[in-house]
Amino acid sequence: MVNHEQDQATLIVYTRKADEAYPGGLARSVHFAVSRDGREYEPLNQNYGILFAQAVIRRDNTLQTKALTDPIVFPMGDGYGIGAVRVEENGTPDESSAGMLVLWQTRDFMEFREMGQAQKESLPLEKIARRRACVMGETVECCGIEIASDLYDRLVAFWNTPRHVATRAPQRVKVSSREEVRAIRATAVYSDGSTALKRVEWDLGGVDFSSPGCYTVKGKLVRKKYPFPLAKGYGDPVVFPWKGKWYFLGTNDNLNDIGIYIREADTPDELFAPGTEKHLILGVDSERDFIQTFWAPEFHIIGGQLWILFAVGGRIWGPQCHLMRLKPDGKLTAPEGWDTPVRVVRKDGSPLAPEGISLDMTYLLAGGRSYMVWSYREHIGTPEDTGSMLYIAEADAGKPWQLAGEPVLLSRPLYSWENVNGTINNEGPHAFVRGGKVYLTYSGGDAAGYTYAVGMLTADEHAPLTDISVWTKSGHPVLTYYSVPGEYGPGHNSFFTDEDGDLMIAYHGETSLESRLRCDGIRRVHFNVRGEPELGLSPAQDVDPALAQVQTSVIVGSGENAS
């Protein structure tokens, strides 16, 4: 006899109570939880919101932030519908949305299509009933729907961060030298079915490479555990390899943001070792009107040459994007090794941002085309503040200081997680290309506080990236202060590939909810079973210490006898 109850599970949608640790712009979003028995509910996405309200763009190009309340879920076509009442960020009614619901469609609660607002009367809401449920000790008013148990399993795997659950090592390997054994990798298996190759520290003390035979060799997975924080008082970190050395750049909060400093070391770890020298390569220069806001320096190889992209301002506050090229045979850590910085201009030679500020410029090479992406903002600190917005334009690798195409608006902070508590930020873009896709991360929320978070835009590598229709923007952040315990406000990240060929993310964050001191962190970027980047694996999720021990049999020469 079939037990149909075991084939069913429950999914609920709800909002949370706002408090000092979870403000209204986050709490008043649609959250999801699932249950097998209808009593114990497991939140998805770590109990952080998944669907967020979009702001209204006023006639003066400013944003009126919005939030959501009273979410519902119901069958819709061959999938499901999700609706919520749009309210102001503080929870008061939004008069312009009276009698309406913001509506999404989904087939699987993993991908959503926002449909805009719909009249309540046009939706099949007669059988919808509200209930109460307990999620992580918090009683929530919610709406629920039955789902298949296999969908429950897929949702838990999709919305939870993958974790290391098993390790596989080769059973037998034929070798002739220590170097060949040291090159043997093990495979870490993760809870979603994804895998990652891991370097192993092999104990070769019992192997005699002059005596043919079969030897049992034990080892331990190398854990890439960069302690957080790595460096205190540095925002916008960038780690970069160049001619056998490693270099670090960041916005220097320790010296009141004055100047661009470089660190040099033999390994990424050593960049953050105590006593590592900081070299000033660009300081205050009154003659060139470089006075303040030496912000977000980034290394990029453009047209075969090394450049630093950064923003700097003069006597009148207002950072603007600049570039600085390393001279032929120039020394990175020496001021004289760099050409005079030049300000970025438009295709016609006019200023990039004559009516606002420009900052956080990054370079992107995709599909054989060069692009610049940067953040732009008008009327900052006034009632006409537009918030920071991302723009993109084609670039000429031969003269990257002059755009090769017209700037195009790529993204602005419409979602309530991007503009929580009036922060209205889209900034800090940085990209990598993998598997035919461009992954462009950016940051929103409070740039020096715990709500700072990383969003993501994706596009096909060979698409014309100045055509905004080719981009897909995630409606929820992909890295938040819920991602890794003890790291608050992670954001303004960059990517680099380390000595083992692993893609790494460098970012800044704070050490507590209250802290405003930006500190740096690094960790490995994992690629889940769908091939998508996961930015929030903690060291223990990446390599479980209990699963780090491995062993293999190595055959030296033609011998088969065990040692």
What does the pLDDT profile of the chain (563 residues) look like in tens digits?
Answer: 334 456 889 999 999 999 999 999 999 999 999 999 888 899 999 999 999 999 999 999 999 999 999 999 999 989 999 999 999 999 999 999 999 999 999 999 999 999 999 998 888 877 788 899 999 999 999 999 999 999 999 999 999 999 999 999 999 999 999 999 999 999 999 999 999 999 999 999 999 999 999 999 999 999 988 999 999 999 999 999 999 999 999 999 887 778 999 999 999 999 999 999 999 999 999 999 999 999 999 999 999 999 999 999 999 999 999 999 999 999 999 999 999 999 999 999 999 999 999 999 999 999 999 999 999 999 999 999 999 999 999 999 999 999 999 999 999 999 999 999 999 999 999 999 999 999 999 999 999 899 999 999 999 999 999 999 999 999 999 999 999 999 999 999 999 999 999 999 999 999 999 999 999 999 999 999 999 999 999 999 999 999 999 999 999 987 555 44
Cis preceding linkage at 297, omega within 30:
no
Confidence at residue 6, expressed as pLDDT on a 0 to 100 scale: 64
3-state SS class at 452? coil
Q: Which residues contact 163 (CB under 8 A, 6 or more apart)?
A: 190, 191, 537, 540, 541, 544
Place of tokens 């079973």: 529
Alpha-carbon separation of residue 172 from 41, 132, 206, 551 (angstroms): 45, 56, 16, 10
Buried b (16+ CB within 10 A) or exposed e, 194-212: bebebbbebebeebebeee
Q: How far apart are CA 273 and CA 271, in angstroms?
A: 6
Q: What predicted TM-score, i.e. pTM, was given to this entire model?
A: 0.95
Backbone angles phi, psi at 142, to 5 degrees: -145, 175
In sequence order, the β-bridge partners of residue 491 are 508
CA atoms within 13 A on the CB side of 307: 24
pLDDT score of 431:
98
Per-residue CA distances from 423 to 205, 224, 418 (Å):
57, 34, 7
Q: Beta partners for 100? A: 119
Q: What is the largest CA-CA distance in the chain?
A: 86
**Residue 325 and residue 339: Cα distance in Å, rounded?**
5
Q: Which residue has the tokens 């070391």?
A: 265
Backbone phi, psi, residue 68, to 5° = -130, 155
pLDDT of residue 122: 84
Q: What is the pLDDT of residue 3?
A: 44
Q: Is 236 left (phi over 0), alpha (psi -120 to 50) or beta?
A: left
pLDDT of residue 128: 85
Which residue, 388, 204, 241, is CA-closest to 311? 388
pLDDT of residue 347: 98
Long-range contacts of 540-543 (CB under 8 A, 24+ apart): 540/163, 540/164, 541/161, 541/162, 541/163, 541/164, 542/164, 542/188, 542/196, 542/223, 542/224, 543/164, 543/188, 543/198, 543/221, 543/222, 543/223, 543/224
What per-residue confidence (pLDDT) applies to 559?
Answer: 56
Say how far apart CA 11 and CA 89 lie, in whole Å: 26
Per the CB < 8 A criterion, the answer to whether 319 and 383 are in contact is no
Q: Are strands 305-313 and 292-302 parallel, antiparallel or unpaired?
A: antiparallel
Q: Cα Rg for the chain, rounded, in angstroms?
A: 26
Tokens 């050409």 map to which residue? 339
Q: Give the span between the Cα atoms of 116 and 543, in whole angstroms.
A: 42
Q: Which two tokens stand for residue 301?
A: 């190889």
In 3D space, the residue among 264, 422, 383 whose CA is nearest the CA of residue 332 turns out to be 264
